Structure 1
Amino acid sequence: MQRLITLILGLVLAACSSITYNLPAVSSDTDGNRRTGKFIWHDLISDDPKGTETFYGALFGWEFRSLELLGANYWVISLDGTPIAGMVEQSGLAAQQDISQWMSVISVADAHAAVQVVTDAGGRVLREPVSIGDRGVIAVFTDAQGAHFATLTTPSGDPQDSESLPQEGAFLWHELWTSDVSQATKLYAKLGSLEAVAHSGERADGSEIDFRVLRSDKLTRAGIRSLPDPQMPSLWMPYLRVESIDRLKQLLLRIPEVGGQVLVPAMPRPAGGYVSVIAGPSGAPIALQTWGSDQPLIEDL
């Protein structure tokens, strides 16, 4: 099934590559510098845009603004007026199977060089580099283990690194769950000019987790870990910040009421806080991570 979805997604994106869009820049908070290896955007492919808007609006107050695009329905998602993500309607992509998922977007200096890095490492190009206006040049891939991701080369620089924690409901962290930690680490370290550092960790049953962190500019950009379940597909998991365990428990109780599912209940993480995995009405998984105001910036760990 995962291979079928990958094939369909590739065909859909290739078919759309002949259409030119002008999407807004990911942020106005830029100093003109590019921060390669940083996750700078997120796009949700959803087969239920209305339900998705209701779901995330009820939980976190996300606001959805529809854009007029030729041949596609696209929304910019904002939190308290700050754009944090986008949503595209799956039906506009003419997909024959459900491909609902979150697509995490990594900054790169050269989109065409990224294609070479990914293919040399055994990955696949689902969408060749294409300009999408003010947002920059985007390309879409799967790595050799099947995890989907995109790269973006912005025309005017990337969002600056914040000196404060993201607010609740904003993106806190990004983690690759993969069947081959070593091979995946080599790819993403090269792709983003990142340093890879090994960390130790344990599952709830006491077994060891193969875990690496990717760093640049003395900041931690992402984590890479072995699959929690060998039967699940490799994927990039984005994390949203939740302020406390009490708040997380409240959210988990409400999620079924607003059309979502709790896939993994709250559990402690070795790095601190508690994490749960949920899905909105489209079925796309996303993690909720508690991270209090008294804890350090997760990028500083």
Structure 2
Amino acid sequence: MLTTHYVPGTPNWLDLGAPDIDAAVSFYGAVFGWTFQSAGPDSGGYGFFQLDGRTVAAVGPLMDEGARSAWTVYFHTPDADATLTLVEQAGGTVRVPPMDVFTAGRLAAFTDPTGAEFAVWQPGDVQGLDTVMEPNSLCWTELYTTDAAAAKDFYRSVFSWSHQDMPMGGDMIYSVVSAPGGGKGDDTGHGGIMQLQKEHLQAGSSSEWHPYFGVTDCDATFAAATGQGATVLIPPVDAPGVGRLAMVKDPAGAPFALIKGDPTLA
């Protein structure tokens, strides 16, 4: 389970790279009720999505020519420079070397060996998101990958993750990943890794992390998102033992998922 008691290897930040900040603010405000607070005149347009005055995500302009709009998941690290070394030793590549963000913290961005982009956040004044696991906030992270075995090996080497494989029928397996100290009992998972199926690979799908946002009504939020121009990837569907979920791309093409948890699991 995600928590704001961040420990190494768990998700602690999330931001959106968007071609049009105002359009992104309008879309996510209409879907989740988020407001926007600028990080200041020296932030280059970067700012925070907030709910009831607490940061639930962030958004900034696309910085690289040809970059596509996407959500980036950040994982907690006590030492971004040490994580860079682990990433390179495990076969990953560096997109953004460790850099200080004023006094807020230190970040670095990488690509895993299967092509999925992710980042790390070394806390300074900012520990991470203010809110997770509440309605309209981050509640899960998920990696669709071209090589699940390679991905699991990589993240185990970098973050010491363990994983629990859960058969989903046929040859499909969903791996729930956990970081040491990331929870108690059976509630330690903070994300999942899933192999892209042959038909998706043939259609050109590539490895990517994406966020799940918890909602009180999956169908209503899905309708709000599509009504604001989102593209349907997975319409609302019941997942036994999990809840009701859907997946869309926002109007700029960034994928994200919605989930209303199964009340019997509460």
Q: Which bracket does the TM-score occupy, shorter chain normalised?
A: 0.7 to 0.9
Aligned to 1:222: 191
1:48 aligns with 2:17: no
Paired with 2:66 and 2:128, the residues of 1 have a C-alpha distance of 34
Paired with 1:226 and 1:290, the residues of 2 have a C-alpha distance of 23
Aligned to 1:102: 71
Using a 3 Å threshold, how does the CA distance of structure 1 residues 269 and 292 change in structure 2: closer, same or farther? closer
Q: Which amino acid aligns with 2:60?
A: V
Q: Deviations over 1:50-94 (max 9, x none)?
A: 12111111111111112224372111111121111110022xx2x
C-alpha deviation, 1:222, in angstroms: 1.5
Aligned to 1:120: 89
1:81 aligns with 2:44: no
Partners of 1:75 and 1:86 within 8 A in 2? yes
Aligned to 2:154: 187
1:240 aligns with 2:213: yes
SS of 1:68's equivalent? coil
Partners of 2:105 and 2:126 within 8 A in 1? no
Partners of 1:117 and 1:187 within 8 A in 2? no
SS of 1:73's equivalent? coil
C-alpha deviation, 1:137, in angstroms: 1.2
C-alpha deviation, 1:145, in angstroms: 0.7
Partners of 2:14 and 2:73 within 8 A in 1? yes
Q: Deviations over 1:111-156 (max 9, x none)?
A: 1121122112221100111111233111000101110000111136
Partners of 1:107 and 1:192 within 8 A in 2? no
Partners of 2:215 and 2:258 within 8 A in 1? yes
Q: Which amino acid aligns with 1:178?
A: T
Paired with 1:213 and 1:105, the residues of 2 have a C-alpha distance of 17
Which of 37, 44, 55 in structure 1 is aligned with 2:9?
37
Q: Deviations over 1:85-104 (max 9, x none)?
A: 110022xx2x3324210010
Q: What percent identity do the matched residue pairs reach? A: 28
Paired with 1:292 and 1:82, the residues of 2 have a C-alpha distance of 26
SS of 2:265's equivalent? coil
Paired with 1:254 and 1:160, the residues of 2 have a C-alpha distance of 24
Paired with 1:43 and 1:272, the residues of 2 have a C-alpha distance of 25
C-alpha deviation, 1:271, in angstroms: 4.2
Q: Which amino acid aligns with 1:232?
A: S
Consecutive unaligned residues in structure 1, runs of 5 or more: 1-26, 297-301
1:138 aligns with 2:138: no
Paired with 2:30 and 2:129, the residues of 1 have a C-alpha distance of 29
Q: Calculate the TM-score normalised by the size of structure 1.
A: 0.77
Instruction: List structure 1 runs of 4+ shifted beyond 6 angstroms.
Output: none
Going by fraction, where is strand more abundant, 1 or 2?
2
Paired with 1:161 and 1:170, the residues of 2 have a C-alpha distance of 10
Paired with 1:161 and 1:96, the residues of 2 have a C-alpha distance of 31
Consecutive unaligned residues in structure 2, runs of 5 or more: none
Using a 3 Å threshold, how does the CA distance of structure 1 residues 133 and 71 change in structure 2: closer, same or farther? closer
Give the paired residue count.
254
C-alpha deviation, 1:290, in angstroms: 1.4
Aligned to 1:169: 136
Q: Which amino acid aligns with 2:35?
A: E
Paired with 1:157 and 1:61, the residues of 2 have a C-alpha distance of 23
Q: Deviations over 1:204-249 (max 9, x none)?
A: xxx3323222223241122111115223110012100122xxx222
Paired with 1:189 and 1:262, the residues of 2 have a C-alpha distance of 32
Going by fraction, where is helix more abundant, 1 or 2?
1
Aligned to 1:286: 256
